[in-house]
Each structure stands twice: as C-alpha cells, then as structure tokens.
Structure 1
C-alpha cells in the first residue's frame, strides 16, 4: 500500500503552505516558553503507577499489505529491548495542569499564539475569525488562541476533560513535562514493544480483527472522513485515557485517541541497517516519531492506528490530536 498523506500531517513548517485571507501566523514573534526546559527542576521519580516491562526480543515492524512501506513500517525484524517502565496512559489534562501550576511552564502553542484544530470542532464564533488552513489537509485550521487549555480555540476549555489526554503539546513540551516528572519519552522500539502487549505480529494491540464481535476497541473515525464522524465508538474527539480495554501489558489507548511522541528522530530507512539491540533511531533529523494513531484515523485515508504504523512531526508542532506518555529506565 502506498503511503497516504496523514490526517495528522499539520506541522509548523506548513505555515508557509496555507491558503489564507490574511497574513499567516509565523514564528517571527515567538517568545520562549517560560521557564525553559533546562531550568525546570525535576521531581523525585515515582514509579508506583508505572508498568514494569522485562524487555526481551520481539518482532518489530510489519510487512502487512495494509501497511505503508514508504513510512518505514517494514521489514519485520528482531529487536531486543532492555527492561523499562512505561505509563499505562497518556498524560492527562489534570496531570499537565499540575506541571504548569508548579513550574509556570508555557507551551509552544501559547508562545506561537495558535495551534492546529480540526475544522469540525471549531465553534461558529471562532470559525468566523479563522483565516488559514493547510492546503493539502484543509481540515486543519490555524486557530489563534488554541492551546492545551483551550483545545478548540479561546472559547473552549478542558473543565470536563481533566481525564482526557492533554493535546496541543509539542515534542519540546513533552520533554519539559518529562524532565519535571523525572521520566522520559519512550523510544520507538520501547513504544511498540509495550503497545503489542505480548502479542506477536498482530495488527492491533488486541489481535487482527478491528472490532472483534462487533465491539469497538479504540477511538478512531467512523463515517466519511473528513466531513462526517458517526462517533459510533462513543467519541468524536478525545476519549478519557482509560476508555476501552487495556492491552496485555496494561496499556490503554495505544491505538487511536491521540498520537504519542517518541524520542526518536524519524527516518523511513535508518532501521534497516541500524542496531537491533535497544535502538534509539537516527542521530539527527527534521521530525520526531509519533506512534499510535488518533481519533481522526480512518481506514479510507490514514490507516495508522495499527500497532506497527508510524508518523512524524516537527518538534515544535502541536495539533488537537497529539499527546504523549512517559517512560523511565528500570535502574
């Protein structure tokens, strides 16, 4: 299968590729987040709620006909991972608020003054002020005032979504939270090892059938993308982080809900010749790996909620469907 353009491809570097009625927001007037990541004081690491995984050797990647070879999903290869800890859920709005309250951290979306919001979520009042959208993926609107506290724009809030994943967080924001919590982002190999939940080469974290017995197992798009979401899984946007059943290792929502940042730089072919023991990805790059898919993924367009699927975005980018979960060393 050829690599389709991802529903999640909106990034800061597409700000010059929008169609617009007025000037497009640019990074020119950015203020650095305050405090900076380097000045954040780490808390004592609390592993009590994390999942300990013994590591081991597993089959990473896929040669599935539903995969996207151009994304670097294959070939299937044996990869060995050392023991590590990982959170059962992505970081929630409540957890991120605690971080912000204690540190005064300001996200990159707040510094830029805007973020990408899916068009169906924008209120009529905010929509009247939206002047920009990405040309190749016009469902992504540039919404001024959109950030983690105002996911759909300045007239929205997270008051009833404290147990939902925090969104509109960049890779840099995720690193800042990880430093504060004493944790880190998982490597891509760790993420896939954990997401597979002990199953071998299955398409999803629970098996090969998307809806076993007709049961929804994850939060993805149902309907006609990008104009009609039937939300038959119960959610049009994000779902609570513990919605749906966990995988065999106790991880929730590793398929769908929100994309999750990993620590690796993205490359479609580095892994072919790279080391297969505790791989960490290329030493440099333009975009970071994201895994897991999101509530916007649909088989007709972005079939990337499969456990081997990959995507990417620039480290300063934020959208309404990107979050993260944390990991930690076993030592």
Structure 2
C-alpha cells in the first residue's frame, strides 16, 4: 500500500486518486516533468528541478496554472479570435475564410538584447540592443522559443525525439536534418512558439475587419515599416514606425519573420477553415512580412515566402506568440 503525499491516507497501488482527498497519483506518487524529467509530488504545480508548470498526465487531473498567474518577460499583445479572408486572390490565392482562436503575439520582433540575454550570443549582422535579431534560422527559432518558455516558467511547445529540452536535441544543424524536421508542436502548451502562417496574417491585418489594408496598419508603407524605399539598407530599432490597430509593430518590413508552417503552393486549396497549422512534411518553412531589402510588394500582409529551415540570413528574424487556449 502507498501513502498519499498530501493527506497521508493509504492508497491502493492501482489508484489514480486518493479516496480521502482526491489528490492525483502518477507513477505511485509523483509526476515526471516533461522538460527535465525530474520526479515531483503529485500535487505540485511547478517542477522542483526547472521551475516550469507541470502539465496533465493522461487520465490524471494535474493542477493547472491560471492565465492570470502567468508573468512573462516579453511584451505580448492579445489578438482576439475571429474570422478573416486569408490571401489576396491573385498571387497568394485562392482567397479563403479562416477562423482563428484568441492568441498572444509579440508587440515587436525579438530584439538582440533579449536574444543575447537568453542564449549568450548575438548572431546579428547589424548590431544594436534594440534592433531586431537577425541571422536566425528556423531551427534557431524553435530552440529560442523553448528556452524562453523555460525562463518564464511556461510549458515549452516544441518536441524533438520525445523531449522538450533543447539541450537533448544536439547542436543546431547548419544543413537539413531529418530529426529536426520531425519536430512536433504541443498545441496545448502555454509556452512561446512561432505563429502559424494564418495567425501571422490575421495579427498583421489587425484581426477581424482589418484585412482590407495592404500593409500592417494601413496602406502607406512609409509610415508603417522599414523596406528598401526608406531603410537605407540598414536595420532600425523596433517600434520606430506606427503600429497596427492592435498595437503590433513592424509586421511590415524590417526582418522576415519565420512561421511554423511548411510551405505548399497548393495548401490554400485544401486548408481547414479553423486554426490551420499548415501542411505536413514539405521542403521549406514559411517566412512573412518582408525586410529592409525588399520592395513594398513583398512586405504586404498576404505575401507568402519560404526558405530552407537551416538558413540564417541577415534579414531573417523571429516574433513569438502564445496560445490563449489549446488549438
């Protein structure tokens, strides 16, 4: 007979709950952390080994962390859920209706200051604490998201070979890598992740009712973002241009922003209406928004581009998001 870790009552070895106080029982008396694998008390909310929240195990109601208990270090904007017409019906076609749940997205791109604080290095070609980080590959981006989640005591989203701990993934590849390409996103986790292509376009438009604009925040690109017509070929501080209607900066120009999705030219023909997360197992990952080197056309809200996930170019950056509720 086991003893309940909370009230001390005896419990049968096959019990999932204490019949005196209702405390869940996992592996006899503990919960294993999905990030660092430390064994914790069954009633613990946070891991004693790494500090991140403990998520529910199959068949067991583990204590959950309420949204108002979460304190993060990144300025995030809540994007109210709704529907919009994705695509432009021309080059990015067909135009199609998409429904998006509430989510949070970074008010700005990730800055070099935040990237260096978290990783200890600054890969950027253009150096400056308040400049957007650049020279970031898609592989770099998913590592950063999980590290930032851990620092803010959130449950990381990305899983490679069964682990959410990037230290167990090995070195970030500088070429295509089948193991890294098989990464899975835990859509139920509350940590940071890359936005889906649909979430990105919805946020750039300003949510429901904003998709009529050509750029994020309006139709006058000079006021909204840095592109080849005003950047002078150099990076500029984040949030130096006007935000869109939700208070989100720099989704027009500055740096290309990686999204979660694989690219498929025909995906718009078959994508689901509700919270699409992209096709499965293609060759390239989506990037959105244009950059300081691009013409205005490529900085449009609906413009789709893609590249190899291992490539870290001097105009490639990252903007993080978080789910408000499981997708």
Q: Do these two structures clear the TM 0.5 threshold for a shared fold by scoring above it?
A: yes
The aligned counterpart of 1:95 is: 114
Provide the rounded CA distance (Å) in 1 between the counterparts of 2:110 and 2:275.
24
Aligned-pair RMSD on alpha carbons?
Answer: 2.3
Provide the rounded CA distance (Å) in 2 between the counterparts of 1:191 and 1:46.
23
Provide the rounded CA distance (Å) in 2 between the counterparts of 1:252 and 1:208.
15
Deviation at 1:204, TM superposition (A): 1.1
Change (3 A) 1:94 1:209: closer
Q: Is the 8 A contact 2:139 2:309 kept in 1?
A: yes
The aligned counterpart of 2:274 is: 277
Q: Per-residue CA shift, 1:110-140, capped at 9, x if unaligned?
A: xxxxxxxxxxxxxxxxxxxxxxxxxxxxxxx
The SS at the match of 1:304 is helix
The SS at the match of 1:193 is helix
The aligned counterpart of 1:251 is: 248
The higher radius of gyration belongs to 2
Deviation at 1:43, TM superposition (A): 6.1
Where structure 1 has 5 or more consecutive residues not aligned to the other structure, the ranges are 1-37, 107-147, 153-157, 223-232
Provide the rounded CA distance (Å) in 2 between the counterparts of 1:330 and 1:206.
23
The aligned counterpart of 1:151 is: 125
Scaled by the length of structure 2, the TM-score of the pair is 0.62
Q: Is the 8 A contact 2:124 2:314 kept in 1?
A: no
Provide the rounded CA distance (Å) in 1 between the counterparts of 2:51 and 2:319.
17
Greater RCO, 1 or 2 (C-alpha within 8 Å, sep 6+):
1
Deviation at 1:63, TM superposition (A): 2.2
The aligned counterpart of 1:125 is: none
- Does 1:312 find its partner at 2:306? yes
The aligned counterpart of 1:263 is: 260
- Does 1:184 find its partner at 2:178? no
Where structure 2 has 5 or more consecutive residues not aligned to the other structure, the ranges are 1-34, 37-49, 54-69, 150-191
Scaled by the length of structure 1, the TM-score of the pair is 0.61
Provide the rounded CA distance (Å) in 1 between the counterparts of 2:95 and 2:51.
38
Deviation at 1:234, TM superposition (A): 5.4
Q: Is the 8 A contact 1:62 1:201 kept in 2?
A: no
Q: Is the 8 A contact 2:217 2:242 kept in 1?
A: no
